[in-house]
């Protein structure tokens, strides 16, 4: 069975973070493992606190997994402080054959809570971008990384080119914040691939970024090429959003197992 590892923060409400990643791995037919970087107190209404995991423990989690189990792909999500980023970079660079890495540069929650500490952006770029197979920033994240405004598809393309110069092999800029259709674009250093999607009328989108990046990682773990991995990941997360779960009093989660539940006649 193919295996994928997520390195990210915990969401106690189950909609995003490690919990979303593991659900996404399972739904896409991959055995999931996790390295927890931080514990968050959050629900459908927002993030209310973060407790970082000691960097030595982060490093130890990575080490013991790779000492014992083959890892076919890695997804990296929320890493909130400089020391944690450095610990991850050091631990992964010590691995002889690093698996493909999907890096979701999480910076701010949907509710506006800062998930990346001050001055950590430069460390994230320096330590993790060069070893990433793919990075998956949304428009606000791409704007924060580059210090530019991105409002159009042409500006997304320009941003992708600049992001590629920072080290990742592939760039997926997500266009969910565009005013028109939610077009994502993949850049490989030479050409662009567009993934067009009409907007879905469903407010329950908590954890969509985590779900997409982990689905792509699962597809890479199974041996898909990057374009197919993104295409299938987009298809999966679109279905999950269409059937998002009405949960709590705020923005509910996507339905990670909708297709499997349908096959099993579970409502």
Encode pLDDT of 121-162 as tens digits. 999 999 999 999 999 999 999 999 999 999 999 999 999 999
Q: For residues 159-188, give the mean pLDDT.
A: 91
| 3-state SS, one letter per residue, for the chain | CCEEEEEEEEECCCCCHHHHHHHHHHHCCCEEEEEEEEEEEEECCEEEEEEECCHHHHHHHHHHHHHHCCCCEEEECCCCCHHHHHHHHHHHHCCCCCCEEEECCCCECCCCCECCCCCHHHHHHHHCHHHCCEECCEHHHHHHHHCCCCCCHHHHHHHHHHHHCCCCCEEEEECCCCCCCCCEEEECCCCEEEECCCCCCCCCCECHHHHHHHHHHHHHHCCCCHHHHHHHHHHHHHHHHHCCCCCCCCCCECCCCHHHHHHCCCC
Q: For residues 33-57, give the mean pLDDT.
A: 96
Question: Which residues are marked as active site?
Answer: 174, 205, 207-210
Gyration radius of the chain's alpha carbons: 17
The arrangement of secondary structure in 3-259, i.e. its CATH architecture, is 3-Layer(aba) Sandwich (3.40)
> What is the model's pLDDT at position 119?
85
| Domain parsing of the chain, residue ranges | 3-259
> What is the model's pLDDT at position 245?
94
Sign of the CA dihedral running 31, 8, 63, 131:
positive
d(CA 202, CA 147): 31
d(CA 133, CA 234): 17
Encode pLDDT of 206-255 as tens digits. 999 999 999 999 999 999 999 999 999 999 999 999 999 999 999 999 99
> What is the model's pLDDT at position 115?
80
d(CA 162, CA 159): 5
Task: Provide the CB-side half-sphere exposure for 212 (13 A, CA).
Answer: 27
Q: Which whole-number Å values give the CA distances from 142 to 57, 64, 77, 102, in the listed order?
A: 30, 33, 15, 15
Encode pLDDT of 77-108 as tens digits. 999 899 999 999 999 999 989 999 999 998 87
The pTM assigned to this predicted structure is: 0.96
> What is the model's pLDDT at position 83?
97
Residue 199 — pLDDT band, cuts 50, 70, 90? confident
Residue whose C-alpha is closest to residue 28's, from 266, 256, 261, 264 = 256
> What is the model's pLDDT at position 218?
99
pLDDT top residue among 179 and 155: 155
């Amino acid at each position: 069975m193919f295996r994928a590892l997520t390195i990210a923060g915990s969401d106690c409400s189950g909609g995003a973070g490690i919990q979303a990643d593991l659900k996404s791995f399972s739904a896409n037919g991959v055995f999931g493992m996790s390295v927890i970087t931080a514990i968050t107190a959050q629900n459908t209404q927002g993030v209310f606190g973060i407790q970082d995991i000691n960097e030595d423990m982060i490093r130890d989690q990575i080490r013991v997994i790779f000492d014992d189990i083959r890892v076919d792909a890695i997804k990296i999500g929320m890493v909130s402080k400089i020391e944690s980023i450095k610990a991850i970079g050091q631990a992964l660079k010590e691995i002889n054959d690093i698996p493909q890495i999907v890096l979701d540069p999480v910076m701010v929650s949907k509710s506006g809570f800062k998930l990346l500490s001050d001055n950590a952006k430069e460390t994230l770029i320096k330590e993790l971008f060069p070893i990433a197979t793919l990075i998956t920033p949304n428009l606000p994240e791409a704007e924060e990384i580059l210090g530019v405004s991105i409002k159009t598809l042409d500006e997304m393309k320009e941003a992708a080119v600049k992001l590629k110069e920072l080290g990742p092999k592939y760039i997926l800029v997500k266009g969910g914040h565009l005013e028109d259709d939610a077009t994502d674009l993949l850049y490989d250093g030479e050409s662009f691939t567009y993934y067009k999607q009409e907007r879905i009328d469903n407010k329950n989108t908590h954890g969509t970024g985590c779900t997409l990046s982990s689905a792509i990682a699962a597809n890479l773990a199974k041996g898909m090429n990057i374009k197919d991995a993104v295409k299938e990941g987009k298809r999966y997360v679109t279905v999950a959003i269409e059937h998002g779960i009405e949960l709590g009093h705020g923005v509910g989660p996507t339905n990670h197992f909708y297709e499997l539940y349908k096959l099993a006649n579970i409502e």
